[in-house]
Structure formats: structure tokens, C-alpha cells
Amino acid sequence: MRRLSAVLLTLVLLVAVAVVADRVAAGVAERAAAKEVTRQVDVAGTPDVTIAGFPFLTQLVARDLDDVRVRAEGMGTEGVELGDVDIRAHGVGLAEPLTARTVRLTGTLRQPDLQRLVEQATGMTLTVDTGTDGVTLGTTVLGQPLEVLAVPQVSDGTLRFTPASITLGDKTVDPGAVRALLGANLLDVAVPLGDLPLGMTLADVAPRDDGVRVTLTGEGVALPA
């Protein structure tokens, strides 16, 4: 009985050592990956890289990582800044060229950047306020404040704002009146986001108090080496 207990204890200790060694190796890889992300991509702060799945070493030997997550305070691409970035990559092959089976990136297009992009798209000087119910585009018409509450949507991979309600002063007005005064600028706002990172496409958007949360997705994504 004592011999059996000793064998079991030895096995438990070996497993514990193997787990620790595996996690240490994963930690080394995560820190190296964070440095590489910082070198390759314009990120704010130090990115946090997590390589999920156990054991890590068998994934490394197979040169295929099941699940890699990268979080960063911010990321810039093509003049567009995203905050609170979360990237999830599955099936990351380590053979050249580096590829990921699927990549999902979420980030917040914050209010100041959103205002700049909307003004560029409309050619108008506007106030842009964001909330969970939508994005309010404001200007002045005939000495009265005009506000368009618009809902962000994805149309053919483009970020668009569709009016949900329009007020002039304290009265609700119909889109036809706005079109007569301002043209269609505030009625169909398409905001170009430039070339998205890693060739991904815009898949979803959601309004938030601090901006618009965007989701980018891609399959068979080529990663920078």
C-alpha cells in the first residue's frame, strides 16, 4: 500500500512538473509574441497575449496554435484608431507563411475619431455624440439645432448611419425636409474605414457611450512575419 501511494505521489509530482514546465514555455512564447506584435503593429501600450489550450508544447511541436488572444489599449491602421482592442485567432499555423484559420477583431471607434470621419464623409462641420441608442449628428439650420439620431449598420462591408429620428428645434421633421435643406448628406452617411488590417472585413457594429464598437473578421488570414 505504501508503495502504491509512493507511485501515485510520484505521478502527481511528475504531472505537476510537466504542467508548470508547459505553462512556463507558454509564458515565454506569450511575452515573445507581445514584443513581435508591438514591432509589427501600431499599438498603444504593451499588448497582452494569451495562448490558450493545453498542453502548449504539443501545439508548438505541431506548429499549430489552437487559440491565441491579443488585447491592447489601442491600435492604429490607415489613419483609423481603435481603442480597447481584442483579437482572437484560431488555428494559427507557425509554418511559413504564418496564417490563421479565423481571426476576429473587436475595437472601439471612439467619438473624436468618429466625428472626424463623419465630417470627412459629409463635408460638413458637425457635432457627433454617441450612446447605446445610436449616434446623434448635429448641426444648425435656419438658426435652429438640427439633430439626426442615426443607427450604425454594416452595408456591403461599409459603416453606414441610417436615420431613426430627426428633430429641428423641438419638432420632429421628416427626411424630405432635411433633404430639401441640406441634400442627402445626413440621410445616408457612409464612413470609409480605409484598408482594414490583415485584409479583414467589417462584420458588425454596435453603438456605445464611448463610440462605436466594430467587429472585423477574416478567414485564412496571412499574418505578418
CA atoms within a 13 Å half-sphere pointing along the CA-CB vector of 201? 10
What pLDDT does 15 receive? 33
Q: Can you tell me the distance from the alpha carbon of 204 to that of 216, in angstroms, rounded to the nearest whole number?
A: 7
**How is residue 113 written as a grid cell?**
475619431
Map out the domains of the chain as residue ranges: 2-107+218-222, 112-191
CA distance 216 to 166: 30
Residue 47: the pLDDT is 78
pLDDT confidence of residue 135? 93
| Cα distances (angstroms) measured from residue 8 to each of 4, 5, 12, 138 | 6, 5, 6, 71
Confidence (pLDDT) at 24: 44
Grid coordinates representing 216? Answer: 472585423
pLDDT at 205: 95
What local confidence, expressed as pLDDT, does residue 108 receive?
93
Among 159, 162, 160, 161, CA closest to 216? 159
| Residue type for position 31 | R
Return per-residue pLDDT of the chain as tens, 225 residues.
Answer: 433 333 233 233 333 333 344 444 445 444 444 444 545 556 666 777 777 665 555 555 555 677 787 888 887 776 678 889 888 888 777 767 777 788 888 999 999 999 999 998 888 888 999 999 999 998 888 888 989 999 999 988 889 998 888 888 888 888 777 777 676 677 888 988 877 777 788 999 999 999 999 999 988 877 665
- The pLDDT score that the predictor gives to residue 42 is 62
DSSP state letter for 224:
P
d(CA 125, CA 87): 34
**For 146, phi and psi rounded to 5 degrees?**
-110, 130
Cβ count near 157 (within 10 Å) = 12
Q: Where are the alpha helices (DSSP H) in 63-198?
A: 111-122, 175-182
User: How far apart (Å, rounded) are the C-alpha atoms in residues 53 and 93?
Assistant: 15
Radius of gyration, alpha carbons of the chain: 24
